[in-house]
């Protein structure tokens, strides 16, 4: 399968400290990758670089064989990536609907059916009654579901989730895991950072990071 993302010799330093050391990584289209490792190992740093949130590094980032330039990163994040954060990262003073539509506001694309699609997603995630409520007034689970809808509203090719179940109860965590699985089944490339081994084992490929290097890259075989 063709690489959707290719990282070549990525090195990231914080002042003198090397956080990622000459990391190379090929991510194929339709992959489901989990990234695990101890705190401070460099998981989130790698995730930030894959998510084009951090562009201060040495090395090269290719998207479908195209070298990604810094000035292209805003648009890349907007159109190709869907983010799910541990802290939800919703704008508390806006409604659920406005938060979901936020990526579209900053998009150069014109989708006539976006409102319809948004409505369907709210129904699918059982949030149609909360659509116009200010995010501040919603529960943690509801906020995370809004973040899920927001991550796919632009129909991204890649979904990035950084500790997505960290702040959730079991039911909501289960929902996230099932959502990511489903997205992968629908053909999206999913990359998730987690501490949870069971969750990591749901992926097709597991990367273990330690000391700023990928020390393990294994194919996970589903349990029969």
Partner 1 sequence: MKSYIRLFKLSVKLYSANMKRNLYLTISVAVSIFLFLIAALFVDFEYATYVKGSKRVQENYIYISCEDKELYNLMQQQFDKKSLYLCMHTMTGGNLYIDKKYRIDIDYNIILTKNIPQNIYIHSNLEAHGETDNSNEYSFEKIELVCGADEFTSSNQVIISEEYACLLAGSAEDALGKKIMMGYNGAQDVYSVVGVYRQFLTETRLNKETVKEMESMYTKGNTAVDNTPLISTVIMPETAFSDIDISSYELYVFLTGKTEQQKSIYLTRISKFEEQDIYKDKFTYITPKDIETANQEEWQINMQTKAILLLIVAVISGISVFGTMINSVSDRRKEIGIKKALGASDGSIMLGFVFENLINSLIAIIIAAALAGFILLGYIFYQRQIVMSDYTVRFYGETILLFVIYTVSSVLGFSLLPAYSATQINIIDTLRDE
Binding site for partner 1 (CB under 8 A): 48, 51, 53-54, 74-79, 83, 85, 87, 89-91, 93-95, 98, 102-108, 110, 134, 150
Nearest approach, Cβ of 87 to partner 1 (angstroms)? Answer: 7
Give burial (CB, 10 Å; 0-12/13-18/19+) of 210: middle
Q: Please give the Cα distance from 24 to 46 (Å, whole number).
A: 11
Which residue number, 44 or 165, has a Cβ lying nearer to partner 1? Answer: 44
Nearest to 29 by CA among 3, 64, 68, 62: 3
Which residue number, 110 or 171, has a Cβ lying nearer to partner 1? Answer: 110
Nearest approach, Cβ of 203 to partner 1 (angstroms)? Answer: 23
Give every strand in the sheet of 205-210, ordered side by side.
Answer: 81-85, 158-162, 189-193, 32-37, 205-210, 213-219
Which residue number, 89 or 197, has a Cβ lying nearer to partner 1? Answer: 89
**Which DSSP state fits 55?**
-
Strand-pairing partners, residue 83, are 160
Nearest approach, Cβ of 201 to partner 1 (angstroms)? Answer: 27
Nearest approach, Cβ of 98 to partner 1 (angstroms)? Answer: 6
Which residue number, 5 or 206, has a Cβ lying nearer to partner 1? Answer: 5
For residue 96, the surrounding DSSP H or E stretch is helix 96-105
Nearest approach, Cβ of 74 to partner 1 (angstroms)? Answer: 4
Which residue number, 93 or 182, has a Cβ lying nearer to partner 1? Answer: 93
Q: Please give the Cα distance from 122 to 117 (Å, whole number).
A: 9
């Amino acid at each position: 399968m063709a690489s959707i993302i290719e990282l070549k010799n990525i090195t990231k330093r914080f002042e003198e400290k090397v956080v990622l050391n000459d990391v190379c990584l090929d991510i194929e289209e339709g992959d489901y990758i989990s990234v695990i490792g101890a705190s401070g190992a460099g998981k989130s740093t790698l995730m930030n670089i894959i998510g084009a949130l951090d562009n201060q590094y040495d090395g090269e980032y290719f998207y479908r064989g195209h070298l990604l330039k810094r000035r292209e990163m805003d648009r890349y994040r907007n159109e190709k990536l869907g983010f799910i954060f541990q802290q939800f990262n919703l704008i508390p003073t806006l409604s659920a609907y406005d938060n979901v539509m936020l990526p579209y506001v900053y998009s150069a694309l014109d989708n006539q059916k976006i409102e319809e699609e948004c409505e369907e997603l709210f129904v699918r995630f059982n949030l149609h009654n909360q659509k116009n409520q200010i995010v501040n007034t919603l529960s943690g689970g509801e906020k995370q579901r809004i973040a899920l809808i927001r991550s796919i509203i632009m129909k991204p090719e890649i979904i990035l989730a950084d500790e997505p179940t960290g702040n959730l109860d079991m039911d909501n965590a289960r929902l996230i895991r099932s959502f990511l699985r489903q997205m992968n089944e629908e053909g999206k490339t999913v990359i998730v950072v987690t501490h949870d081994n069971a969750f990591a084992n749901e992926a097709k490929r597991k990367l273990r990071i330690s000391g700023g290097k990928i020390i393990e890259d294994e194919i996970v075989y589903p349990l029969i």
